[in-house]
Amino acid sequence: MSCLGSSDNGFRKERTIAIVVTGATGNVGRPLVIQLQAAGAKVRAITRNPDTAGFPAGVEVVTSAFDALRGASAVFLNSHALIDQLGQIVETAKGAGVTRLVALSAINADDDFSRQPSRVLGDRNKEVEQLAMESGLEWTSLRPNVFATMYVGAVWAAQIRAGDVVRGPYARACNSPIVESDIAAVATHAFLTDDLVGQRIPLTGPEAFTNAELVEVIGEVLGRPLRYEEVPPEIVRENFIAAGVSAEFADAYNAFMQGTVEQPVFVAAGVEKVLGRSARSLAYWVADHRELFTA
Does residue 20 form part of some domain? yes
Predicted pLDDT at 7: 33
Does residue 257 form part of some domain? no
What is the pLDDT averaged over residues 68-97? 95
Does residue 286 form part of some domain? no
Predicted pLDDT at 113: 92
17: confidence class by pLDDT, cuts 50, 70, 90: low
Does residue 189 form part of some domain? yes
Decide: 133 and 139 in contact? Cβ < 8 Å: yes
Domain count, the chain: 1
Alpha helices in the chain (DSSP H): 29-38, 65-68, 79-82, 86-96, 117-120, 125-133, 148, 155-162, 180-192, 211-222, 233-242, 247-262, 270-275, 282-288
Does residue 221 form part of some domain? no
Amino acid occupying residue 241: I
Residue 275 belongs to domain spanning: 13-144+180-204+266-279
Residue 175 has pLDDT above 90, yes or no: yes
What pairs with residue 228 in β-bridges?
Answer: 166
Here the CATH number for the domain that contains residue 120 is 3.40.50.720
pLDDT digits (tens, 9 = 90+) for 86-126: 999 999 999 999 999 999 999 999 999 999 999 998 899 99
Does residue 65 form part of some domain? yes
pTM of structure:
0.91
Does residue 46 form part of some domain? yes
Predicted pLDDT at 185: 98
Decide: 31 and 212 in contact? Cβ < 8 Å: no
Does residue 54 form part of some domain? yes
Residue 177 has pLDDT above 90, yes or no: yes
